[in-house]
Amino acid sequence: MPHTISLIPGDGIGPEVSRAVQQIIEAAGIAIRWEETSAGGDIEITDFMKSPAVLSILKNRVALKGPLATAVATGPPSLNVQLRKALDLYANVRPVENLAGVASRYQNVDMVLIRENTEDLYAGLEHTVVPGVVESLKIITERASTRIARFAFEYARKWGRKRIHAIHKANIMKMSDGLFLTSIRKVAEQYPEIEYQEMIIDNACMQMVLNPCQFDMLLLTNLYGDIMSDLAAGLVGGLGVVPSGNIGETCAIFEAVHGTAPDIAGQGIANPTALLMSAIMMLRHINETQAALDIERALQKVYTQGKNLTRDVGGSATTADFTEAVIRELRT
């Protein structure tokens, strides 16, 4: 039986890298019926649950998503955030590790960042108190903190991770970040085989730059997770070479988290690596583990050879060149 998976190609280079990933998955021999849909940017906020993307993902339970553009300072709320909230995709999973052939000042980086995805400042509760004064509310609940903690510790147990750092600013935000830590500590007691530590956010950023290899897993609130996951990606080559998954109780979206790159859209030179790596996560999620491993090995081989890499990682290949190289490795 083929899998039915929602596909949101996205904006800018999104459709190009989405097509490349579809071709590679097909070459791996996985039968997927792609249900292509828009993210619903023309849907009013109050009707977002009726958007084509939400309805499609609620039906199919799994989606692959290219990058979506988000206006800065003005315009509607982020569609990325809206999708996570609408589908209760409470856990953002961002594996970060070195990819052979990608220049980096650090080696042997291998960490996973788990980010709570539904609340904190990203709850979007803002209002003008008086002209010139805006208030944003930071929402932290015991329920969400406990849920993401349990997800992180279960992930560590499943994938053989040994240590989790909870990242916080509870020395200043004693109630909100304090509740986050208190909730995690209760969960940590149930997983004695996993080492549990805590680190203040500013020190964690410094420590990550000094020695990223000291981290195995990081557990973070929404804002800290957003910042530190991009910081971690920068240590191994950038957002173009790391995957991302947003996972809930019933649905999951796997996505490229880099920008839409409108300056190169339509030129056929975009790098599909991030979306392909996210698709590998997706295949594991739907229990197509052998195909995930085959594609992962083919991707690593292409990067190790270094002959068909795109411009952003030091090569001169086109999107088609890169895609064909991965497919050739799959077939051999």
Kindly list the catalytic residues.
122, 169, 202, 226, 230
Whole-angstrom Cα distance, residue 284 to residue 241? 18
Q: What is the 3-state secondary structure (H, E, C) of 276-312?
A: HHHHHHHHHHCCCHHHHHHHHHHHHHHHHHCCCCEHH
Q: How far is residue 21 from each of residues 67, 94, 275, 289, 300, measured CA to CA in Å?
A: 14, 19, 7, 17, 15
User: What are the angstrom distances between the C-alpha of 262 and each of 16, 19, 288?
Assistant: 12, 17, 33
- What is the rounded CA–CA span in Å between residue 4 and residue 111? 31
DSSP character at residue 170: T
For residues 319 and 325, what is the distance between their CA atoms, to the nearest angstrom? 10
Dihedral angle sign, alpha carbons of residues 296, 91, 85, 286 = positive
The span from the CA of 272 to the CA of 331, in Å, is 19
